[in-house]
Amino acid sequence: MKVLILITGGARSGKSSFAERYAARLGSQGAYIATAQAYDDEMRERIGLHRRHREDRSFRWSTVEEPFELAQVLSLWGTGRSPMRRNPGKRRL
């Protein structure tokens, strides 16, 4: 059974730490989707820190880094309002 869990929260609220601990309890493998965007040097440093923490802790899940819009798409899917359904004849790339 595949499970999708979306964790949201404010900036520096502990989302990543919580998500990584929770993922580790779920199993030894999976996909972890990080949605932060590096708009400035401080954010680039934070993203780098998160990467190093996952490496240092031997985080086994595959990490996929995608833009914030992915979180919006996933939340729409959760409500059954997938943006892919708006134009059923067209495929988005």
Residue that has been written with the tokens 């730490």 in this structure = 17
Residue 29: φ, ψ to 5°? -145, 155
Q: Residues with catalytic annotation?
A: 50
Distance (Å, whole) CA 84 – CA 25:
32
